[in-house]
Protein backbone atom coordinates (compact mmCIF):
# COMPACT_ATOMS: atom_id res chain seq x y z
CA UNK A 1 0.00 0.00 0.00
CA UNK A 2 1.36 3.38 -1.03
CA UNK A 3 0.18 6.34 1.06
CA UNK A 4 0.84 9.76 -0.42
CA UNK A 5 1.02 13.01 1.51
CA UNK A 6 -2.41 14.09 0.25
CA UNK A 7 -3.95 10.99 1.84
CA UNK A 8 -4.50 9.10 -1.40
CA UNK A 9 -3.78 5.40 -1.40
CA UNK A 10 -2.55 3.09 -4.15
CA UNK A 11 -2.35 -0.66 -3.81
CA UNK A 12 0.52 -2.79 -5.06
CA UNK A 13 -0.50 -4.26 -8.42
CA UNK A 14 -0.38 -7.97 -9.28
CA UNK A 15 2.12 -7.10 -12.03
CA UNK A 16 4.46 -5.82 -9.29
CA UNK A 17 4.69 -9.26 -7.69
CA UNK A 18 7.05 -12.17 -8.22
CA UNK A 19 5.64 -15.64 -8.84
CA UNK A 20 6.01 -16.43 -5.11
CA UNK A 21 3.88 -13.40 -4.17
CA UNK A 22 6.70 -11.17 -2.93
CA UNK A 23 7.00 -7.59 -4.15
CA UNK A 24 9.46 -7.29 -7.05
CA UNK A 25 12.79 -5.57 -6.53
CA UNK A 26 12.58 -1.89 -7.38
CA UNK A 27 8.82 -1.45 -6.89
CA UNK A 28 9.13 0.14 -3.45
CA UNK A 29 12.08 2.30 -4.47
CA UNK A 30 10.17 3.51 -7.55
CA UNK A 31 7.14 4.41 -5.40
CA UNK A 32 9.49 6.56 -3.30
CA UNK A 33 11.02 8.28 -6.36
CA UNK A 34 14.22 6.24 -6.12
CA UNK A 35 14.94 7.66 -2.67
CA UNK A 36 17.37 6.33 -0.10
CA UNK A 37 14.95 4.22 1.90
CA UNK A 38 14.74 2.06 4.96
CA UNK A 39 12.17 -0.16 6.60
CA UNK A 40 10.61 1.00 9.88
CA UNK A 41 8.36 -0.80 12.32
CA UNK A 42 4.80 0.43 12.76
CA UNK A 43 2.17 0.19 15.48
CA UNK A 44 0.49 -2.55 13.43
CA UNK A 45 1.68 -6.17 13.74
CA UNK A 46 3.65 -7.60 10.80
CA UNK A 47 3.41 -4.34 8.83
CA UNK A 48 6.52 -2.40 7.94
CA UNK A 49 6.82 1.07 6.46
CA UNK A 50 9.34 2.22 3.88
CA UNK A 51 10.04 5.95 3.77
CA UNK A 52 12.52 8.34 2.17
CA UNK A 53 15.25 8.60 4.81
CA UNK A 54 16.13 12.06 3.54
CA UNK A 55 12.53 13.33 3.58
CA UNK A 56 13.18 15.89 6.31
CA UNK A 57 16.35 17.14 4.61
CA UNK A 58 14.48 17.38 1.28
CA UNK A 59 11.69 19.28 3.06
CA UNK A 60 9.03 16.87 1.84
CA UNK A 61 5.51 17.49 3.18
CA UNK A 62 4.31 15.65 6.28
CA UNK A 63 2.37 12.48 5.61
CA UNK A 64 -0.18 12.65 8.42
CA UNK A 65 -1.75 9.25 7.72
CA UNK A 66 1.64 7.50 7.68
CA UNK A 67 2.72 9.40 10.80
CA UNK A 68 -0.31 8.03 12.65
CA UNK A 69 0.55 4.48 11.62
CA UNK A 70 4.23 4.95 12.47
CA UNK A 71 3.17 5.82 16.00
CA UNK A 72 6.45 7.18 17.38
CA UNK A 73 5.50 10.84 17.50
CA UNK A 74 8.07 11.56 14.79
CA UNK A 75 6.57 12.82 11.52
CA UNK A 76 6.82 10.80 8.33
CA UNK A 77 7.86 13.06 5.48
CA UNK A 78 6.76 12.24 1.92
CA UNK A 79 5.23 9.10 0.51
CA UNK A 80 5.22 5.90 2.58
CA UNK A 81 4.96 2.30 1.41
CA UNK A 82 3.42 -0.26 3.77
CA UNK A 83 4.17 -3.95 3.32
CA UNK A 84 3.45 -7.21 5.07
CA UNK A 85 6.84 -8.22 6.43
CA UNK A 86 7.68 -11.90 6.58
CA UNK A 87 11.32 -12.66 7.27
CA UNK A 88 13.46 -10.85 4.71
CA UNK A 89 10.64 -10.57 2.19
CA UNK A 90 7.97 -7.96 1.56
CA UNK A 91 4.45 -8.94 0.51
CA UNK A 92 1.46 -6.79 -0.38
CA UNK A 93 -0.94 -6.22 2.49
CA UNK A 94 -3.84 -8.62 2.91
CA UNK A 95 -7.41 -7.38 2.39
CA UNK A 96 -7.91 -7.48 6.17
CA UNK A 97 -4.79 -5.36 6.77
CA UNK A 98 -5.89 -2.87 4.10
CA UNK A 99 -9.33 -2.49 5.67
CA UNK A 100 -7.83 -2.01 9.15
CA UNK A 101 -5.49 0.68 7.88
CA UNK A 102 -8.22 2.46 5.93
CA UNK A 103 -10.41 2.40 9.02
CA UNK A 104 -7.55 3.65 11.20
CA UNK A 105 -6.79 6.64 9.00
CA UNK A 106 -10.35 7.06 7.76
CA UNK A 107 -9.50 6.75 4.10
CA UNK A 108 -12.37 5.95 1.78
CA UNK A 109 -12.29 4.63 -1.73
C-alpha triplet 95, 98, 99: angle, nearest 5°: 90
pLDDT level of residue 65 (50, 70, 90 thresholds): very high
Per-residue pLDDT at 36:
87
Per-residue pLDDT at 108:
35
Average pLDDT over residues 29-53: 92
Q: What percent of the chain has pLDDT over 90?
A: 71
Q: pTM of the entire structure?
A: 0.91
Domain map (residue ranges) of the chain:
2-105
Amino acid sequence: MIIKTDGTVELIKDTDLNENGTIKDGVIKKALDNAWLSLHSTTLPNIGMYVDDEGLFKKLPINYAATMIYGTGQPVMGTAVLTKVKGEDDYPLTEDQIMKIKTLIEITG
